[in-house]
Chains A and B, each alone.
Chain A
């Protein structure tokens, strides 16, 4: 004898009349399609289980309160509930999205290390060496003022006191030191940036 398939609408009606087995049949009939749909969106078994459970909790509460009025369209209705819950799930997690590594997307494309890479460190070393060599070429009095100001962070008053000259002289030596450096850099087309 062929098995008679009871339509969803009849099962829903039986359930609302108190037949708890009707719900078990409905869940068994549609669980694969519904769970597969949810899993295809969330790609996580635990989350899919949670959303599946929440979907049927809504279904049960709606049916028990006799608020269901879409006879004959049970599965599309349930799918719509689960779809809304999936949207809620992603909306809730928007503030803390989870990234998964795929062929098209690498987590390292959004994670950057702010510390200089090896290339930048080499360039910085070279720039500093070049600058050091240029400073060595300056006349002694200018080099002395420049080193005290830039490398030892002394004020012009302190430089003036230490070198036994006036502040104006110290300022003048600094000015000439910078002008001479600039001249050499421009003449030799030296690039001092990285």
Chain B
């Protein structure tokens, strides 16, 4: 029987997702970030360790 040399059909591409570290960083960043607006319309950002 003739051998088929053509490449096998590629599996359906997986969903493109960002790295887990990126997501974790964002969630931690969000938890650490505090934004305070002053009466003078100034915005102060602070990151809690």
Q: Is A20 an interface residue (CB 8 A)?
A: yes
Asked whether B26 lies within 8 Å of A60 as measured between CB atoms, the reply is yes
In angstroms, Cα B18 to Cα A64, docked, is 23
Q: A61-B45, A64-B35, A65-B43 are in contact. Are A49 and B19 (CB under 8 A)?
A: yes
Q: How many A-B residue pairs have CB under 8 A?
A: 52
Contact partners of B33 in chain A: CB under 8 A: 60-61, 64
When C-beta atoms are compared, the residue in chain B nearest to A36 turns out to be: B16
Within 8 A of B (CB), among A47-69: 48-49, 52-53, 56-57, 60-61, 64-66
The main secondary structure of chain B at its interface with chain A is mixed
Within 8 A of A (CB), among B1-24: 15-19, 22-23
Give the interface of A toward B (CB within 8 A). Answer: 20, 23-24, 27, 31-32, 35-36, 39, 48-49, 52-53, 56-57, 60-61, 64-66
Give the interface of B toward A (CB within 8 A). Answer: 15-19, 22-23, 25-27, 29-31, 33-35, 37, 43, 45
